[in-house]
A = this chain, B = another copy of it.
Amino acid sequence: MELRDIIDKLKSNGYKVTEQRKAILQVLSSNPNNLISVENLFIKSKEIYNKTNMSTIYRNLEILERLNLVYKLITEDSIALYKLVCSNEHHHHIICKECGKTEIIEFCPINTLNKLAKDKNFNLTSHKLELYGYCVDCQASKDD
């Protein structure tokens, strides 16, 4: 999704285009495949627009999440990470534990999962599939 499209979607939902919001979106869209922490998003947004405040980051992430424009992931150590959604189609990610880089994986075992849920008499509403590892760059730097 392009930065322009995101801003359009915000506008069409009655949200205004502020410098802070632009800074946040610029950071997110400059690295659309990388997960970023709230803290780092704050730091980088400030580099673009110095007056950006932490609570603004949180408020905007909440809006973006509600509009389904960002993807939120909580790591095993309970750190919230965000990235822009890449597409509206259902998909999963492989995530680098070192640098946060993600790639989409073209695989979803949903049919099997539906069957399994049915066997257990569960009404399946959603599922999470995430792969963790080290990307090729971080594998190299780990060898140092």
- Residues of chain A at the chain B interface (Cβ within 8 Å): 72, 74, 76, 78, 80, 94, 96-97, 103, 105-107, 109, 112-113, 116-117, 120-136, 139
Contact = CB atoms under 8 A, between A and B. Distances in A.
30 contacts: A72-B76, A74-B76, A74-B78, A78-B78, A78-B80, A94-B116, A94-B117, A103-B120, A105-B113, A105-B120, A107-B113, A107-B116, A109-B112, A120-B135, A121-B135, A121-B136, A122-B131, A122-B134, A122-B135, A122-B136, A124-B131, A124-B132, A124-B133, A125-B133, A126-B131, A126-B132, A127-B131, A128-B128, A128-B129, A129-B129
Counted per complex, copies of this chain come to: 2
A125 B72 CA distance: 21
